[in-house]
Amino acid sequence: MVNTIIIYNSRGGNTKQVAEKIAEGLGVQSVNQKNIPKNIEDYDFLVLGSWPMMFKISSGGKRWLNKLSKKNLDGKTVALFFTSGGPDEDMPKTDNGQPKKIKEMMFETMENIINKSKNVTILEDRFYCKGAIRMMGKIMENEGHPNEEALEQAKTFGETLKTKFS
Ligand SMILES: Cc1cc2nc3c(=O)[nH]c(=O)nc-3n(C[C@H](O)[C@H](O)[C@H](O)COP(=O)(O)O)c2cc1C
């Protein structure tokens, strides 16, 4: 039996909603970054989610992923997901000065952080969807996202991971 957990950070609730749907598909629990189990090293399969802010991974996401990468993740399998405001815009700048699409930027950043821990397998199976943009409690853009279709896809993503890896 593969011991699996979903971990995410979410400020407005989009990433949480998606995490919960992936969890439903996988038949496991999802926790936010504040509730990472103390025995995380006993888990074999980690499904990790975050969101971008100002063209970079949210600082909260960067922080907990960095902390996680310092644990002994030897031999573990990782799948990544995120929600964001806009998928297709080019990023105005990145660390090496090259514009990047949001998906490329987010998955690369998350991968690079997790890869600091050696011998982790990061799956090509990954999930992204659009989320409403909330500022000071108000929805500014993408009202209704993640929508039903995206949440159903998130559940299917979880089911696929379950079939393939657990
Ligand atoms: C202050 C702020 C900055 C954001 N910057 C970006 C951004 O640079 N690119 C993007 O695609 N989405 C951006 N977003 C949108 C969020 O990534 C999106 O709403 C995400 O789904 C939020 O996840 P959450 O509800 O789990 O916190 C921003 C949102 C906020 C509130």
Closest residue by Cα to residue 129 from 109, 157, 108, 110: 157
d(CA 36, CA 163): 24
Q: Which residues of the chain have pLDDT under 70?
A: 87-88, 93-95
Determine the pLDDT at residue 59: 97
Sign of the Cα torsion 112, 104, 124, 131 reads positive
Determine the pLDDT at residue 88: 66
Determine the pLDDT at residue 86: 83
Residue 82: Cβ-neighbour burial (10 angstroms; 0-12, 13-18, 19+): buried
Determine the pLDDT at residue 94: 67
d(CA 87, CA 104): 10
d(CA 14, CA 8): 11
CATH at residue 93: 3.40.50.360
Query: How many domains does the chain fold into?
Result: 1
Q: Confirm or reject: Cβ of 83 under 6 Å from ligand 1.
A: yes
Task: Give residue 52 CA to ligand 1 midpoint distance, Å.
Answer: 5
Full domain range(s) for residue 77? 4-165
Residue 59: Cβ-neighbour burial (10 angstroms; 0-12, 13-18, 19+): exposed
d(CA 32, CA 156): 21
Determine the pLDDT at residue 93: 66
Determine the pLDDT at residue 97: 72
1 Cβ contact partners less than 8 Å away, ≥ 6 residues apart:
166
pTM exceeding the 0.85 threshold for the entire prediction: yes
Closest residue by Cα to residue 12 from 137, 129, 127, 128: 137
Q: Confirm or reject: Cβ of 91 under 6 Å from ligand 1.
A: no
Determine the pLDDT at residue 69: 95
- Residue 56 in contact with residue 25, Cβ under 8 Å? no
Mutate to test the pocket of ligand 1, among 133, 135, 138 (most ligand atoms within 8 A of CB): 133
Q: Confirm or reject: Cβ of 10 under 6 Å from ligand 1.
A: yes
Residue 50: Cβ-neighbour burial (10 angstroms; 0-12, 13-18, 19+): buried
